[in-house]
Amino acid sequence: MENIRFWIILAATCVVPGINGQTVDMDDGKSGFVGSKVDLRCRFINSSPPVKISQVTWQKLVNGSKQNVAIANPSLGVSVAPPYRDRVAFKNGAVRRRTPNLEDTTISFSSLRLSDEATYICEYTTFPAGNRENTVNLTVYVRPTTQMSLSTPTLVARSSNLKMPVATCVSANGKPPAALRWETSVPGEATTREYRNSDGTFTVQSDYVLVPSRETHKETLTCVTTYNEEVFTDSVTLDIQYEPDVSVDGFDGNWYLNRENVQLSCQADANPTVSLYQWRLINGSIPSNAEIRDNVLIFKGPLTYDLQGTYVCDATNSIGTRSASVEVSVIEKPLPQIATGDVISVIALLLAAGVLMGITITVLVLKIRSRNKQSSDSPSKKLPQPIRKRPGDDIQHSGRFYEELPNTADYVSYRLACNKDDYPEPYSPPINPPLSFLPQHPYHSQPPTATGSTTTTTSSKNTYSPPSHTTAVFKYPSVQGLSSPPPGVAAYTFPKEQYV
């Protein structure tokens, strides 16, 4: 019965890992680049009760099967399998002693290979606890090789405006695959493809596609490769071949009779450079006094009307031929020329006048705004209040008024001198009779004649007799800047108001 209990306890100890605190401590995962060195940690945690380590075995898990890598045995020593003998070793020197210590059996991998990527098992054989093991995943990275080049040896700008790959960027044999992107000011499109190689690495290729043209010649394309947070750049300069872009210079519109030392110049932008220039005259032949020197047509001697016409320059390179023309006309007399210094002086004067005018307008606007603001903010400057009339002001009495108007012509002259629109009139009594019937000399009328208790007033058709009561002197309204009536305007007297 006791034997049965012993075997049950032994079986439970072997089957259930970690019982009584014995465990194998390893990393969750490790990684390294091809050709580098990496350590795979393995330690036996032995708390209680103490156990005897009989053997430690490192194994590689391949397609579900185990392959031995290295073994450490207290009696037999250390043994490494042939495929790993030159690259795998136990890191702790105590493992290789005559009386070894096998609690730390970390191994070091050197010169990593892609084939080393796998799951590794560290297994402890103990007594009486049985076997204890743990695993670690080893990942092997490969830095890619980056290459950038022109897609084709010769890039030619065609009139068809077809898009084509102009540059290719390749990240080859990398693991994991790299990310590619382009940096350039040239408008275009990027097409990227990814391939998986037989050894588990990846190749990524990206082509930059655009329409080759003269404008894209000598532009720079940069390929940026990002791999495992590492960044690599490579650049290439576009070499676009195109036909000549031609223009003719030299004719300034002032070719006149007998003018000398004139010439036409044929300018061409081409890649490759122009190999041949040809001059011709439409509907005629080049004049005999004209000399051709490569891209220059020189006219010798004084100009005549016979030199008029359309001159054409043909420029040729290995891609093609392009032309440009100019219409030459000869006038009788030279056109007036303006010296460059005079033109600059006129321009400078106009600019200065414009600046001065702008400053003046700005100052005037600021002053006007300031005055308007002061006028609105000042309590002393208020709008004139209309004068309230007394009830009897508009009442007309037979033969007299409360106020009497002066001579019409003088009053109008005074009002014009005082700017009637700016100074409102305090009194505007009705005029009766109409102005056309006012007397020319209102103060020289005949005095009234009294007969007994009856007073008789005699007047002609156009004569008005003022009342006999006392008079007051009429004063013109006070106007700032005008201390006395205008010249030719006299002061008039008006009858004082009589109140009952």
Domain 145-238 in CATH 2.60.40.10? The answer is yes
Average pLDDT on 187-198 reads 95
The residue among 309, 291, 323 whose CA lies nearest residue 251 is 309
Per-residue model confidence as pLDDT tens digits over 24-44: 999 989 999 999 999 999 999
pLDDT at residue 500, as a whole number: 35
What is the reported pTM?
0.56
- For residue 236, pLDDT over 90 is answered with yes
Whether 62 and 42 have beta carbons less than 8 Å apart is answered as no
Which tops the pLDDT comparison, 230 or 496? 230
Which tops the pLDDT comparison, 385 or 260? 260
pLDDT at residue 407, as a whole number: 58
pLDDT at residue 235, as a whole number: 94
Write out the E strands in 197-305.
Answer: 202-210, 220-227, 230-237, 240-249, 262-271, 276-281, 290-293, 296-299
pLDDT at residue 375, as a whole number: 66
Domain 242-328, what fold? Immunoglobulin-like (2.60.40)
What share of the chain has pLDDT > 90, as a percent?
51
pLDDT grade, residue 381 (50/70/90)?
very low
pLDDT at residue 349, as a whole number: 86
Measured between alpha carbons, how far is residue 290 from residues 249, 265, 308, 329, 334 in Å? 16, 13, 12, 15, 21
Domain 23-141 is classified in which CATH homologous superfamily?
Answer: Immunoglobulins (2.60.40.10)
Paired sense of beta strands 130-141 and 29-33, if any: parallel
pLDDT at residue 361, as a whole number: 92
Q: Where are the domains of the chain?
A: 23-141, 145-238, 242-328
pLDDT at residue 423, as a whole number: 45
Measured between alpha carbons, how far is residue 275 from residues 198, 215, 250 in Å? 52, 21, 22
Q: Do domains 23-141 and 145-238 have the same CATH topology?
A: yes
Any idea which of 105-109, 132-136, 203-207, 392-396 has the lowest mean pLDDT?
392-396
Name the DSSP class of 379.
Answer: S
- For residue 490, pLDDT over 50 is answered with no
- For residue 354, pLDDT over 80 is answered with yes
Q: Does residue 176 have a cis bond before it (omega within 30 degrees)?
A: yes
> Distance between CA 88 and CA 113 in Å, rounded?
12
Using DSSP, state whether 480 is helix, strand or coil: coil
Per-residue model confidence as pLDDT tens digits over 307-338: 999 999 999 999 999 999 999 999 999 988 76
